[in-house]
Structure 1
Amino acid sequence: MASFPLQILLGVYLGLVTGIVPALVAWVLGFTFKYFTNVSIPGFGVVVLALAIAGVNGGLLALNDRAIVGGANGVAILVAIVVVLMLSMYAHAKGDQMGAATPKRLTLKKLADRTLSADVVDLVGGRGEVSLQITGDVGDMEGYPPLPGELRRAIREASIALPADLPISELEHRAEDRLRSEFDLANASVRIDERGHATVAAAPPTAGLSKRVPAGKRAVSLTTMVPTGTAAGDEVTIRTRDATYEGTVVSVRPAKEGSGEPAATDGGTEAEAPSPPVAKTAAGGRDRVTVAVSRETAGVLLEHEVTGLSVRSRGERREFELLALLRRSGKRLRRVTVREGGALDGHGLGEVGVHSQYGVVVLAARGDGGWTLVPGGGYVPAAGEELFVVGTPADLDAFAGVAA
């Protein structure tokens, strides 16, 4: 009879070799039951099944079988049985855990989506957040003028904080939108790796005020009493001596912070002081403001004296919350103009198969007759109408290719 340590080693070896198949079966059963039925298999059932697969006669009763315990290799067999049980229980627990954590609707797209490394995620306010680090020089985009040096430096030093639970592709889209809105860029491209390092290419603004003036409107600059805090996008009422008119603020003269006096130093090395931040709201009082109004109203305001300007209440903007929910689910909202002679010109939405074939949903349509909300399958758009469509970026690109 071999010595006791050798019996232990022999038992561990036999248990590892014999327990591979029972452990694999235990993992498959644990994962399958938890994933499809959300039910965990009892551990006792896993133990009995594992011993049966391992070929142990009598199951757990083998631990009390005198023929086994009193045999020449009794210690080795008992150790092997214990190892098989431990492997099976561990595999079952892991399978049960993976079955609970695996998404129920698993698609190839979700499998292909990359996510950030857990090392770069910061816990802020109870949720994961990542601060993107722009590495390297900010590149220029082909077909656009080069970026000015000051704008390139500002983009390079920008701080972009985003939720860390999103796939990298969605983080790239959000970072691009953030850069376009913050720096008024004509276009931007962001590529992010698993470490949160971002490579950015951008195009400078191609227009100034004209981009913010809606179609069919005219921008007029007025000098009058402006409420403190007025900002671009505010809806205002403009008063003259004879009538009142409505418009939208497109730009204001920002209020400058600081007294303008240089700060006294202690004689140390002088460094270039950063420029003070400039608020994007009006300081208040008699000031100059630019508003977008209709063509007829623009002519009237240029000929008459403006006696006052007041800001109208907009209430809560639920549309921003809606857009955030759409983006969180991987959807986008896009405006598509129906092309003359295209697939939609003179054909119903249901006939073309907007949803069934292209996977998009038309939320609204705007034509000469006004707005149509949630048009049905029988709605027939005409050339020149604008459709507001929701779908994934790929589906929207495919739909715009045939409709616009």
Structure 2
Amino acid sequence: MAPLPVEVLLGISHGLLMSLVPVVGVGAIAFAYQYVEGTELDPPVVVACALPLGFAGGIGTGLISLPAVTAGPVTVLPRLLTAALVIGLVSMYANSQASKLAQRLPRDRSQPTSRERPLAPAALEAVDGKGHVTISVVGDVRDVDGYSPLQADLRAELADQSWQLPADIPIVEMEARLEDRLKSTYDLPTVDVSVDARGTATIAAAPPSRNLAGNIPDGWRAVSVETLLPTGLSVGDEVTVTAGEETVDGVVLGTTDDVAGDQWDGATAQTPSTGGRGLATVAVPTIDASTLLESDELTLSVNPAGARDEFRAFSLLVRAGHSIRKVLLDDPTRKQLQATDEPIEVLALRAADEGGAADSNWTFSPGHLNGDAAYVLGEGPVLDSVVPGDETVGVGQ
């Protein structure tokens, strides 16, 4: 029997030689398992595979003599245990390296996608009669760094989406169109869509911002005011808030008629006001916010929406004692206005209706009568003699 140190050295050398077969076998198994299942082999599995392969190789190459092991197992036990330990350690290292290699290897080994080209021929086989291809979502919808996570229901809805797009446009154009659709449909602040050559899309998106801060324009502030609210006041109405001798224009962000209690978390109700004492959250320019905050008595009035400043000036002329009349310019009326010597001035002229907005076709101080309606200014009796019976503009119109 050789001394113990010699047996240990023989065990190390024999173990290194016997590890050649286990390294190849375990490495191949670990690589395939990591690539398919996405996880490493367990250490007991590695040892259970490596030891039989190692000792079978040792017996086949003559490193281990079966007659010697049978005749005196105690004398060769240190050598065998040392060789088994070496085989196990080397096999564990092979398992680790093979798993790392499998992780770095791309899963999709097809030809890289050129984003400037159309879809691959395999995907174009599904083109319908109109030349469109269906783009569907694959995998989970990812979150965008720096934004809050998507809501679970929105994430599931996005993952179930599919779109019909022209099959002959470049992939980069498909991605741009899908991003625009998702932003407009779901009010998403940022979306990243990636389409591969097979016609499948992966999506990363940030949740929509529906909080109060997201509705305030840059350079403005939201101020809550307690005052008498007109009936029907709702989000988006343009208002003027009067604080003493100063006035501030703003836009309503929310209203509430419930002002009871010591605490209130903001006017966020989206239903129109029922009138009476209430609270309104109004977006105003930053420079005017302190005016409202420092005033104890505030009055809120609603501005007319959609009217041009020129029409608002008509009310001031009426208040000053002038008469304004809207007339339809048929041939007789047009001839009367052209022939009269009375002090009548044509303030505005409407061109023939082309389907525009109510006041989009009006021209002020036109200098001609080539239209289908007009606003004329003059004294009441004079207008009665020239264009009797037409619509008279009153205060506030």
TM-score (normalizing by structure 2): 0.33
TM-score (normalizing by structure 1): 0.32
Higher alpha-carbon Rg: 2
